[in-house]
Amino acid sequence: MDEPIGKLEAHNKVPRGFLVLLFGLIALGLYYIAAYTPGISDWSQYKTLSKEMAAEKARSAAAGAKTTGNPYGRDEKAVAEGQGIYAGKCVECHGKDLKGGDGPSLVDHLNFGEQDPEKFESIARGRPGGMPAFETELGRDRIWKVLAYVDSVREHGKKP
């Protein structure tokens, strides 16, 4: 048993699985170098980032174009649903008649803007001094439905 270890292991072959793994990793390394070295493949993280930013800017511009007006403005079903949401979430501060209470009146001049995008922003993100943000709780469509109800009361002078 005093033989050197190299002599004892000399007759064992390298397992095939190990060789497959070794050559596979070498091939993967060569592919990675070829694919992600800017001098070889012209790939760049900066190019990828700028493409993603341009796509996000286009998406937000498209979303901004969509939010210029209330998509549920003239939809009576949405107005009725908005009235129900208002009764559950908004009536406590803004009152049944939308004339205020703890919160400001919604039938008079609005402090943060009279246009739909500003009103949506007030509900979605909240405002300093007491208006909580409701975007995560209500979501985009339900906020627009509440605004459809509020606008119907403001425009037509209906009783809520």
Q: What is the pLDDT of residues 43-67, one digit of tens each?
A: 788 888 889 999 988 887 766 555 5
Domain ranges of the chain: 5-66, 76-156
Mean pLDDT, rounded, of the chain? 83
* Percent residues over pLDDT 70 in the chain: 87
Which of these ranges, 38-42, 77-81, 142-146, has the smallest mean pLDDT? 38-42
Q: Which CATH code fits 76-156?
A: 1.10.760.10
Look at residue 110 in the predicted model and tell me its pLDDT.
Answer: 82
- pLDDT band of residue 3 (cuts 50, 70, 90) is low
Tokens of 157: 């002078």
